[in-house]
């Protein structure tokens, strides 16, 4: 996603579940709006209990791993979201995609 939340590129693999499209979108938006990975935001939602769930629903956020912010020189410039493979694979896929867009030597360490 670009800094305004608009998708730059979207791809659904053959045979991938339809729900993965929505989870990847929401994870990417969560990373963009929070400036943190969607997995890190998940901790906030868990700690906030019912209020955290309401915030997630109303803000279109998703607190599961798979959303990664893209930060260059301390500036949030976009995000990547992945969904449909499971939490850890989603995070790894999103991180790998972010590293293709912005090489690791140009991004701060996770």
> pLDDT (tens digit, 9 = 90+) per residue, 41-81?
888 887 877 777 777 777 788 888 999 999 888 889 999 99
What pLDDT does 30 receive?
A: 93
Question: How far is the C-alpha of 32 from the C-alpha of 67, rounded, in Å?
Answer: 8
Put simply, whether the predicted model's pTM sits higher than 0.85 gets the answer: no
Residue 32 has pLDDT above 90, yes or no: yes
What pLDDT does 65 receive?
A: 92
Per residue in 13-27, pLDDT (tens digit) is 888 888 888 899 999
């Amino acid at each position: 996603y670009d800094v305004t939340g608009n998708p730059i590129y979207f791809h659904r693999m053959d045979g991938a579940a339809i729900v993965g499209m929505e989870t990847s979108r929401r994870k990417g938006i969560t990373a963009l709006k929070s400036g943190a990975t969607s997995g890190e935001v998940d901790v906030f939602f868990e700690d906030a209990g019912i209020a955290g769930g309401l915030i997630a629903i109303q803000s279109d956020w998703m607190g599961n791993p798979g959303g990664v912010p893209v930060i260059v020189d301390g500036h949030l410039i976009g995000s990547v979201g992945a969904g449909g493979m499971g939490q850890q694979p989603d995070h790894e896929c999103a991180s790998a995609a972010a590293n293709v867009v912005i090489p690791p030597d140009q991004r701060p360490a996770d």
